[in-house]
Amino acid sequence: MKRILIVGIGAGDPDHLTLQAVKAIAATQVFFILDKGAVKHDLTDLRQRLIEEHGRQPYRIVEAEDPERDRTTPAYAGAVEAWRNRRAAIYERMIADELADGQTGAFLVWGDPGLYDSTLAIVEEVLAAGRVDFSYEVIPGITSISALTATHRASLTRVGRPVQVTTGRRLAAEGPPADDVLVMLDAHCSFAGLGPEWRIYWGAYLGTPDEIRVEGPVPEVEDEIRRVRAEARERKGWIMDTYLLRRV
């Protein structure tokens, strides 16, 4: 039987790696890495570094080109589905051809594999297709949410209150769905225009040497966030940011 580990590696700081993840990396013979091209090279570099630090020889790294998602179509769900299918075909080929029976292979997943990440769904899809057989386990990781609240020294939750996790796309379309909202995957500063009753805890490149954070009532800090976000994106070629919105 082949064994696959889906390992959460934290949100950018190599020290986010848990001891469980360190042991999982040490137990792996084949690492599967999907390269997202030049812009996202920094993310691949972190994975390489973690493997060099914690991998146990002999291991192999198998790389494949990550298929591009069609970002031009308004049919978001359909585009994601098509992209997942193409990724599933790549995963299936890598597991079938590059991992021998009795070996352990690993996917190192940004943050935690259970938070806005498609690896689990893709692996399930590969298993369901029935052409390759393996067992798989998930190792939790520190999320960008934990990294955000920690750097702001803020609590994600208020006493006895719920928090909603959502995307920038939904926030833009529907407005804040709760009094405490954690927003991810926002390419357009969808918080802009909210009133002074909304406080934002914003962070980009969390856990990395480029980390930036801004906090305050939305109307007071929205221009600053837009400016630093645009500058950083221009300088590095990519950006990942997350924020907590809290109605006070």
Chain residues binding ligand SAM by CB under 6 A are 11-12, 110-112, 115-117, 143-144, 184-185, 203-207, 240-242
In the complex, minimum distance from the CB of residue 214 to ligand SAM, in angstroms, rounded to a whole number: 12
Type and span of the H or E element at 237: none
In the complex, minimum distance from the CB of residue 137 to ligand SAM, in angstroms, rounded to a whole number: 17
Q: Which residues 6+ apart lie within 8 Å of 223 measured at CB? A: none
Q: Which is nearer to ligand SAM, 28 or 149 (CB)?
A: 149
Burial class (CB in 10 A: 0-12, 13-18, 19+), 235: exposed
Q: Which is nearer to ligand SAM, 92 or 117 (CB)?
A: 117
DSSP E strands in the chain: the ranges are 2-8, 30-35, 60-65, 104-109, 134-139, 164-167, 180-184, 198-204, 212-217, 241-247
Which residue do the tokens 């938070």 mark?
115
Going by their DSSP bridges, the two strands 104-109 and 30-35 should be labelled as parallel
Whose CB is nearest to ligand SAM?
111
In the complex, minimum distance from the CB of residue 195 to ligand SAM, in angstroms, rounded to a whole number: 23
Q: Which residues 6+ apart lie within 8 Å of 60 measured at CB? A: 29, 30, 31, 98
In the complex, minimum distance from the CB of residue 110 to ligand SAM, in angstroms, rounded to a whole number: 5
Q: Which residues 6+ apart lie within 8 Å of 116 measured at CB? A: 167, 184, 185
Q: Which is nearer to ligand SAM, 30 or 46 (CB)?
A: 46
Q: Which is nearer to ligand SAM, 29 or 143 (CB)?
A: 143
Q: Which is nearer to ligand SAM, 29 or 146 (CB)?
A: 146
In the complex, minimum distance from the CB of residue 9 to ligand SAM, in angstroms, rounded to a whole number: 10
Report the amino acid identity of residue 233: R
